[in-house]
């Protein structure tokens, strides 16, 4: 208990990278705008450090194809899949197999709802089965009927992989993300200690350099988990 104030708590923050960077930028802005010489002296090096980290993070996101502006969410892709299968059904499947209900049933054993009402876990498998059956009936259907569907399946799997990676990033502590992130945490700790030294008689002034409200409330999350467990019990 008493040793905790002497530990660099910034290393233990659990937040998505953009959230943490926003938090760090707030501190940098506070350092730039303070009249305290000791704190202001930290601003230039800290700002350069953040700029490098933001640049490397953006480049890595672009290379991985995980940039927020480069990919749609899994929900958006799922909506496009529903739209595609409805159009394929109305424009291609139903007219082609109007007099062959068994063939239409083979393509969509559960009808359109087999795709549109599929669960998150079921959708990729059901869509893959449909696409394979379309390929098997290539001689009967117009060329390229399944092309968009396959592209959407790939996009859906990529979106889910990105979503899983984002959740893992939030579950990791910032200190676990690598040396660059640890160094930013060390700089934040330096600012924290310097602010406390400068404002030891009025520590609330030191706290003003850190926007903790921008970070996920871990205590609230733990309380919610405890409440959920108590309800189950």
Q: How far is CA 97 from CA 71, 108, 109, 224, 228, in A?
A: 36, 12, 14, 53, 51
pLDDT at 5: 75
User: pLDDT of the chain along its 233 residues, tens only?
Assistant: 456 678 899 988 888 888 899 999 999 999 999 999 999 999 999 999 999 998 887 776 544 444 444 568 888 899 999 999 999 999 999 999 999 999 999 999 999 999 999 998 899 999 999 999 999 999 999 888 999 999 999 988 888 777 665 555 555 678 778 888 999 999 999 999 999 999 999 999 999 999 998 888 754 444 344 444 444 44
pLDDT of residue 218: 57
* b/e map 15-50, b = 16+ CB within 10 Å: bebebbbebbbbbbebbeebeeeebeebbeebbebb
What pLDDT, on the 0 to 100 scale, is given for residue 174?
Answer: 81
| Stated pTM of the model | 0.53
Q: What is the pLDDT of residue 220?
A: 40
**What angle in degrees, to the nearest 10, is found between the helix axes of 43-64 and 179-198?**
150
Q: Determine the pLDDT at residue 24.
A: 95
Note the pLDDT of residue 60.
Answer: 62
Report pLDDT for 209.
96
Residue among 71, 18, 9 at smallest CA distance from 210: 9
Q: How many CB atoms lie within 10 A of CB 74?
A: 20
The distance of Cα 40 from the centroid of its chain, to the nearest Å, equals 34
39-to-32, 193, 202 alpha-carbon distances in Å? 8, 10, 15
Q: How far apart are CA 85 and CA 88, in angstroms?
A: 5
Q: Supply the angle between the helices 179-198 and 17-33 in degrees, to the nearest 10.
A: 40
The pLDDT, as a whole number, for residue 15 is 84
| DSSP H or E segment with residue 71 | none
Cβ neighbours around 170 below 10 Å, total:
14
């Amino acid at each position: 208990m008493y040793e905790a104030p002497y530990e660099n708590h910034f290393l233990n923050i659990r937040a998505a990278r953009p959230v943490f960077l926003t938090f760090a930028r707030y501190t940098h802005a506070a350092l730039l705008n303070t009249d305290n010489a000791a704190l202001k002296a930290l601003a230039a090096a800290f700002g350069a450090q953040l700029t490098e980290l933001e640049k490397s993070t953006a480049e890595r996101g672009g290379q991985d194809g995980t940039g927020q502006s480069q990919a749609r969410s899994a929900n958006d892709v799922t909506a496009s899949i529903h739209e595609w299968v409805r159009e394929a059904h109305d424009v291609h499947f139903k007219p082609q197999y109007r007099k062959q209900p068994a063939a239409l049933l083979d393509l969509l054993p559960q009808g359109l709802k087999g795709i549109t009402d599929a669960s998150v876990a079921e959708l990729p498998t059901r869509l893959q089965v449909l696409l394979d059956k379309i390929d098997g009936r290539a001689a009967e259907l117009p060329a390229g009927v399944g092309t968009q569907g396959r592209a959407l399946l790939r996009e859906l799997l990529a979106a889910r992989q990105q979503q899983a990676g984002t959740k893992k990033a939030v579950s990791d502590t910032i200190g676990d993300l690598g040396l660059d992130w640890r160094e930013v945490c060390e700089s934040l700790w330096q600012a924290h200690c310097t602010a406390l030294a400068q404002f030891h008689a009025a520590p609330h002034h030191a706290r003003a350099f850190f926007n903790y409200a921008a970070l996920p409330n871990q205590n609230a999350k733990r309380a919610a988990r405890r409440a959920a467990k108590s309800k189950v019990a």
